[in-house]
Amino acid sequence: MLKFTIKNSWYYCFVCFLLLSCSSKTDKTEEGSVSTILPDKVDEVRVMRLGLSDFNYELIANGTVSARNKADLRFGLSENIAAIYVKNGERVAKGQKIAMLDQFKLQNALSQAKDNLERAKLDLQDVLIGQGYSLKDSAQIPADVMRLAKVKSAYDQSANQYALAGYNLNNSTLYAPFDGIVANLFSKVFNQPDNSQPFCTIIDNLHPETDFKVLESDLPFLRVGDRVNVSPFSANDYSCEGQVTEINPSIDRNGMVVVKASLSNPKNQLYDGMNVKIRLQRSLGKRLVIPKTALVLRTNKKVVFTLKDGKAQWVYVQTGLENSSGYEVTEGLVEGDSVIYEGNMNLAHETPVKVIRN
């Protein structure tokens, strides 16, 4: 019994020795692999030489498109619609026929009014002859005599009825008042138009306008004639140019000012009532400008890293105006500084860096 115990003890000691040897080798192997996977690495950065460049003040606003020329067409009569010559979305030219009412009653009314006018003219002539005058010599007839003769013959009343009948007949056909596109046409042939609503609308969408609001503080940077770039929210890949035409000289209770700009719409991508994004740029001359990626925040302070002797240098800066691509630098940097604008997010003061050439 004693021999068996001693033998087992030696066996266990041998197994433990083997396990410790394997563990030591594994630790050494892992240490070697860590040192291989995680070598020291120099941060790679991109650098630009700071210099004076043109700085464009940029203003971003939302606006609504409206047609410069827009007309609601109405019949104003209760006759049935005889014909409609256009449809929604169709482009029309000035003077082009849009729709027509039934002509029978209107032409008959004009004919009767003409006959009544002819009879009234004969009655007028009879009254004047009774007074010793001839209608041919109307220039020599006293005004009070002529006025009385017209009343007795109902000449003025007949002339007014004839003019009204002609007016109704002329307005039984709608024509395009200017070049544009047809919209809001919902009536059908053989039905009476709803006179409480426009029959259709003609929109000049080739020359649209946009109204947008800017802050009171932006007024010093706005001028009539400034160029704007407009893109609809529904089609971000499309944009067109425009020009500021009006600045309303009144500030609302929210400190906003209404500005109007005329637009070009060569591809007919802008529609009346469309919501658009407006970008206005105005050159402020030469300024020290850095890319937005060059500026980082450290303890809520603005910091730019510059390159000197192969190391990143921490510099506090002050900025002025900004646009979509950069900041105007007012303090902290001078012309000629090498500014790090890429690879600067994890840098510290005097961190060694490697410059990547473009």
Mean pLDDT for the chain overall: 86
Instruction: Please tell me the predicted confidence (pLDDT) of residue 358.
Output: 65
Residue (of 45, 46, 51) closest to 333 by Cα position: 51
**Same domain, yes or no, for 107 and 158?**
yes
Three-state secondary-structure class, residue 6: helix
Q: Is residue 15 part of a domain?
A: no
- The domain total for the chain is 3
At 342, which CATH number? 2.40.420.20
Q: Is residue 349 part of a domain?
A: yes
Instruction: Please tell me the predicted confidence (pLDDT) of residue 76.
Output: 86
Reading the block at residue 350, the tokens are: 């005097």
**Same domain, yes or no, for 119 and 102?**
yes
pLDDT at 335 over 90: yes
Please compute Rg for the chain using Cα positions. Answer: 43
**Same domain, yes or no, for 122 and 192?**
yes
Tokens 């910091």 found at: 303
**Same domain, yes or no, for 262 and 145?**
no
**Structural domain of 231:** 59-68+206-283
**Same domain, yes or no, for 227 and 315?**
no
Reading the block at residue 333, the tokens are: 């940097």
Q: Distance of CA 213 to CAs 216, 260, 265, 273, 275, Å?
A: 9, 9, 21, 16, 13
Q: Is residue 25 part of a domain?
A: no
DSSP state for residue 251 in the 8-state scheme: -
Of 265, 283, 301, which marks where a domain is finished?
283
Q: What is the mean pLDDT of residues 117-122?
A: 93
Instruction: Please tell me the predicted confidence (pLDDT) of residue 27.
Output: 44
pLDDT at 309 over 60: yes
Asked whether 318 and 288 are in contact (CB, 8 A), the reply is no
Reading the block at residue 279, the tokens are: 């970008």
**Same domain, yes or no, for 124 and 172?**
yes
At 246, which CATH number? 2.40.30.170
Instruction: Please tell me the predicted confidence (pLDDT) of residue 40.
Output: 61
**Same domain, yes or no, for 278 and 224?**
yes
Of 283, 310, 328, which marks where a domain is finished?
283
Q: Is residue 4 part of a domain?
A: no
Q: Which residues contact 199 (CB under 8 A, 6 or more apart)?
A: 73, 74, 75, 98, 99, 174, 185, 187, 193
**Same domain, yes or no, for 137 and 173?**
yes
Q: What is the mean pLDDT of residues 19-25?
A: 47
Length of the chain: 358
- The amino acid sitting at 112 is Q
pLDDT at 138 over 80: no
C-beta atoms surrounding 226 within 10 Å:
18
Q: Is residue 36 part of a domain?
A: no
**Same domain, yes or no, for 198 and 211?**
no
Q: Is residue 13 part of a domain?
A: no
| Residue pLDDT, tens place only, 230-283 | 999 988 788 889 999 999 999 999 999 999 999 987 777 888 999 999 998 888
Antiparallel, parallel or unpaired: β 351-355 and 43-49: parallel
Residue (of 311, 101, 325, 119) closest to 193 by Cα position: 101
**Residue 6: pLDDT band by 50, 70, 90 thresholds?**
very low
Q: Is residue 27 part of a domain?
A: no
Q: Is residue 319 part of a domain?
A: yes
Reading the block at residue 306, the tokens are: 């510059």
**Same domain, yes or no, for 63 and 211?**
yes
At 150, which CATH number? 2.40.50.100
**Residue 132: pLDDT band by 50, 70, 90 thresholds?**
confident
**Same domain, yes or no, for 173 and 321?**
no
Of 263, 283, 303, which marks where a domain is finished?
283
**Same domain, yes or no, for 313 and 269?**
no
